[in-house]
């Protein structure tokens, strides 16, 4: 009897064959239909562990993540261009098909952040903000009204499209800044941020993601928070997965796996106060927590949060 996991893998591989045969991943009826089918296939909670897939399926997953990232980039550029043609782009964000997902993801990430923040952050960095920096916009508009947001993207066109969206807004035009840099070339500036968000699509495989996490671990201020997007279950066919052990130089505070239409898992970690040379090797998971990852859901029924370090909620 073919089990549920094998059926899911078969369906993902079939969709991969169709997607990888497309001439272009720019938004159109066929591209939208295939990616919608892929997301609907991967969203339901699944016990699948992508690290245990055979080599062929592992290779398909690696390429599929890159194809999803390329398609997401085209989709965001497409809608950023349309929004940029409005007088007040921020009044029309709901034309973006995944806008409600970003509202939910932004609220989720803010809720998790507020459980570990000792004060309202004054400066936040978002790495990989893209042409449609919805996370920064949602946070700045709905959750952190006095915080400035520094958006980093290596693509100058993404930044010029993004700037056009906020330039007409009297508030956000003064609180949103855009820097065209590969984050691996940014060092001292990273010390200025109390919170650094890392986009899901920055670092498209484990090696690339770990290189960036190591770089942030080297240059972020001790005590600063890193908010990172990962994936769980079958959603790991869409995005790279980051494990607590990948966070060298950080104390992993919690990992949250949504079970609703918010696709990304959220990981929050704090930059260690001691350098690695002082004997703290790898990511520090508080000993009283690492063996008994608690699964409780203070935010919403059906999700899972692995609370690795419980701290007083002061924000
Ligand atoms: C298309 S956006 C998608 C952002 C998406 N909302 C997310 O959460 O991942 C991803 C952006 O990351 C940027 N990017 C990728 N690697 C980067 C790096 N090393 N430094 C700065 N930006 C990077 C790309 O240029 C792209 O615009």
Distance of alpha carbon 62 from alpha carbon 52, whole angstroms: 14
Per-residue pLDDT band for 293 (boundaries 50, 70, 90) equals: very low
Domain contains 175: yes
Q: How confident is the model over 272-287, as a mean pLDDT?
A: 54
Q: What is the CATH number of the domain that holds 95?
A: 3.40.50.150
In ligand 1, the atom with minimum distance to the C-alpha of 212 is: 19
For ligand 1, atom 20, the nearest C-alpha belongs to 182
Q: What is the pLDDT of residues 47-94, one digit of tens each?
A: 899 999 999 999 999 999 999 999 999 999 999 999 999 999 999 999
How confident is the model over 199-252, as pLDDT tens digits?
999 999 889 999 999 999 999 999 999 999 999 999 999 999 999 888 989 999
Please state the atom number of ligand 1 nearest to the C-alpha of residue 133: 6
User: Which residues on neighbouring strands pair with residue 178, listed in sequence order?
Assistant: 151
Nearest atom (ligand 1) to Cα of 201? 9
Model confidence pLDDT, tens digit, residues 136-186? 999 999 999 999 999 999 999 999 999 999 999 999 999 999 999 999 999
Query: What is the per-residue pLDDT for 245?
Result: 87
Work out the average pLDDT over 274-286: 50
Cα 162 to middle of ligand 1, angstroms: 12
Residue 265 lies in a domain: yes
Checking if the pLDDT of 286 tops 80, the result is no
Q: Domain limits at 134? A: 1-273
How do beta strands 176-180 and 195-198 pair? unpaired
304 located within any domain: no
Q: How far apart are CA 159 and CA 178, in angstroms?
A: 6
| Interval between CA 65 and ligand 1 midpoint (Å) | 13
In a domain, 278, yes or no: no
- pLDDT reading at 308 higher than 60: no
Give the pTM. 0.88
ipTM: 0.94
Whole-number average pLDDT of the chain: 88
Residue 184 lies in a domain: yes
In this structure, the residues whose C-beta lies within 6 A of any atom of ligand 1 are: 72-73, 76, 127-128, 130, 152-155, 158, 182-184, 199-202, 229
Q: Domain tally for the chain?
A: 1
**Would you say residue 198 lies in a domain?**
yes
Q: Does some domain include residue 308? A: no
Residue 234 φ then ψ, to 5°: -70, -15
Q: What percent of the chain has pLDDT over 70?
A: 86
| 38 domain residue, yes or no | yes
Q: Which residue is closest in CA terms to ligand 1's atom 3?
A: 130
């Amino acid at each position: 009897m073919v089990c549920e996991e094998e059926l899911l893998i078969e369906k993902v591989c079939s969709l991969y064959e169709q997607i990888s045969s497309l001439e272009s991943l720019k938004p159109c009826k066929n591209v939208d239909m295939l990616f919608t089918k892929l997301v609907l296939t991967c969203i339901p909670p699944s016990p699948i562990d992508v690290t245990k897939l055979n080599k062929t399926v592992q290779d398909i997953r690696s390429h599929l993540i890159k194809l999803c990232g390329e398609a997401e980039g085209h989709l965001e550029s497409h809608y950023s261009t349309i929004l940029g043609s409005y007088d007040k782009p921020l009044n029309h964000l709901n034309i973006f098909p995944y806008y409600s997902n970003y509202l939910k993801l932004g609220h989720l990430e803010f809720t998790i952040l507020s459980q570990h923040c000792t004060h309202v952050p004054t400066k936040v960095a978002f790495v990989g903000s893209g042409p449609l920096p919805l996370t920064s916009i949602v946070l700045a508009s709905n959750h952190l009204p006095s915080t400035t947001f520094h958006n980093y993207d290596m693509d100058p066109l993404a930044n010029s499209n993004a700037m056009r969206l906020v330039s007409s807004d009297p508030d956000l035009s003064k609180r949103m800044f855009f820097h065209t840099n590969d984050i691996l070339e940014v060092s001292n500036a990273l010390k200025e941020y109390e919170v650094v968000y890392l986009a899901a699509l920055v670092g498209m495989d484990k090696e690339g993601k770990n290189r960036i996490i190591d770089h942030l671990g080297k240059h972020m201020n001790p005590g600063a928070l890193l908010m990172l997007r990962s994936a769980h279950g079958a959603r790991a066919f869409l995005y790279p997965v980051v494990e607590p052990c990948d966070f060298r130089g950080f104390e992993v505070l919690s990992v949250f796996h949504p079970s609703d239409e918010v696709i990304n898992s959220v990981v929050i970690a704090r930059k260690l106060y001691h350098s690695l040379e002082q004997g703290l090797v790898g990511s520090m998971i508080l000993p009283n927590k690492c063996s008994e990852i608690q699964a409780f859901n203070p935010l919403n029924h059906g999700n899972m949060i692995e609370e690795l370090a419980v701290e007083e909620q002061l924000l």
